[in-house]
Amino acid sequence: AQSVSQHNHHVILSEAASLELGCNYSYGGTVNLFWYVQYPGQHLQLLLKYFSGDPLVKGIKGFEAEFIKSKFSFNLRKPSVQWSDTAEYFCAVNLNSNSGYALNFGKGTSLLVTP
C-alpha cells in the first residue's frame, strides 16, 4: 500500500539550531512531493514542492528539501530555525499521473522552537 512516513513526531529545538525532518514514501511510480506547514491557528500552507528537475528545492522562509529517489526520501531542512518556525509540518505525496490524484499526507511533525 502507498504510504508516507514522517519519522519524527515531536521535535524541540533551540533557536539557531539546524533542522532536518525526515520523510519517506512507498510509491512505485513518478511522484510529486510537497511539504506543507500549519502554524498555530492557521491553515495549511505550501512550504515547497518537487515535480521534476533539480532534486534540491528551495521553499519559503529559508526551507529546502532534497529528493533522493534511491532512498524514496524527501527530507526538509533549515540551517537555522527561528521561534516563528514553531508549527506542524506535513510531508505529502501524490502520483504524477491522472489517476494519482490523492494527496497522501504523513502524520505530521510538531516542531517547537524555544528561545
Partner 1 sequence: DAMVIQNPRYQVTQFGKPVTLSCSQTLNHNVMYWYQQKSSQAPKLLFHYYDKDFNNEADTPDNFQSRRPNTSFCFLDIRSPGLGDAAMYLCATSRSRVHEQYFGPGTRLTVT
- Catalog residues that contact partner 1 under the rule CB under 8 A: 32, 34, 36, 42-46, 49, 51, 90, 94-98, 100-103, 105-108
Q: Which is nearer to partner 1, 18 or 51 (CB)?
A: 51
Residue (42 or 80) nearer to partner 1, CB: 42
Closest contact distance (angstroms) between CB of 18 and partner 1 is 25
CB of 101 to partner 1, least distance (A): 4
Q: Find, among 40, 33, 39, the residue nearest to 56 by Cα.
A: 33
Q: Which of 29, 36, 27 is CA-nearest to residue 4? A: 27
Backbone region of residue 41 per phi and psi (left: phi > 0; alpha: psi in -120 to 50; beta: other values): left
* Most distant pair of Cα atoms in the chain: their distance: 45
* Residue with Cβ nearer partner 1 (19 or 48): 48
Shortest Cβ distance from residue 16 to partner 1 (Å)?
A: 28
